[in-house]
Amino acid sequence: MNKLKICVTGSTGAIGRHLVTFLKNKGHEVTGASSKDDLRIFDNALRVTKGIDWVFNLAAMNGSIEFTTNNKAELVHNNALINLNMAQACHQNGVKRVLYTSSACVYPIHIQDTDEIHPIKEEDVYPAFPDTEYGWEKLFSEHVWKSYEQDYGLEVRISRFFNIYGEDMTCDALRSKVPMAMTKKVIDAGEGGDVYMWGDGEQKREFCHIDDCVEALWILMNSDCNTPVNIGTDDLLTINELANLIAEIEGVKINIIHQLDKVQGVRVRKCDWSKMKSLGWTPKVSLKEGLTRLNKYVHTI
């Protein structure tokens, strides 16, 4: 492949940083746009896309279920502005191809609100009824990008993430994703310590390591697939099982205290990633290996 000029928005986030390194290692000229560039302002979006061939648009506000539940208006406002501005800027500057990172949060509640395991396919998104405003905004922004593809010929690729985790991700109580937050809680609790968990812990999730995620984004961006694609794994387990696996890796026993008055999200979120598999991608990092690497990372910060 010829050397490309690539812009990665959200470049100071963990996925963005890993992606920038990945792309540079492949020999491409990569520029990053971070929160300091404030893509909510159109002129900034226009500036970072000037002279660019491809854009990986990762920029977004996100965080834990607590954060997305309690900051709905801010999330919807800021994330919608970023995508509206970036879509128009890519069009005006003649960017050839864009990858937009969406989320499994776009999928409707009714296929995730019981203990029955229903692997979610991309077409299950309709009839639409996401469980959070964060999910509604993600789905709206998918339509923004597809509108620019249909009207102006901008080539668009869309990924839908199922719980990406890994080293170098945000580590704080409010913004961290579950594996990072739980790893920090277990380490801080120590042998026999109390670990507080939202809900009864029987909600089920899968987790995809950041290294596998970045490789998937590259494969998807280079494909001819212009419809949304799930990025996830087969590592479905309960949050109780996740906490105990993390404790096993840390070498301690913990006492889980369930906070039943807290938001726990959908009951089961199971990814059907057969579409991504058909493009030649298979996750390589097992959950235990990824959590072990995460454990070592948290001990260093």
- Looking at the DSSP bridge assignments, the partners of residue 165 are 209
**Spatial separation of the C-alpha atoms in residues 93 and 2, rounded to whole Å:** 20
The DSSP-derived string for 101-116 is: EEEGGGS-GGGTSSSS
Number of other residues whose CB lies within 10 A of the CB of residue 173: 12
Q: Which residue has the tokens 């057969």?
A: 274
The DSSP-derived string for 68-112 is: HHH-HHHHHHHHHHHHHHHHHHHHHTT--EEEEEEEGGGS-GGGT
Phi/psi at 254 (nearest 5 deg)? -125, 160
What are the structure tokens assigned to 239, written together? Answer: 């949050």
Catalytic residues: 134
Return the H-helix or E-strand segment holding 236.
none
**Spatial separation of the C-alpha atoms in residues 70 and 37, rounded to whole Å:** 25
Angle between helices 239-250 and 178-189 (to 10 degrees): 50
**Spatial separation of the C-alpha atoms in residues 21 and 160, rounded to whole Å:** 22
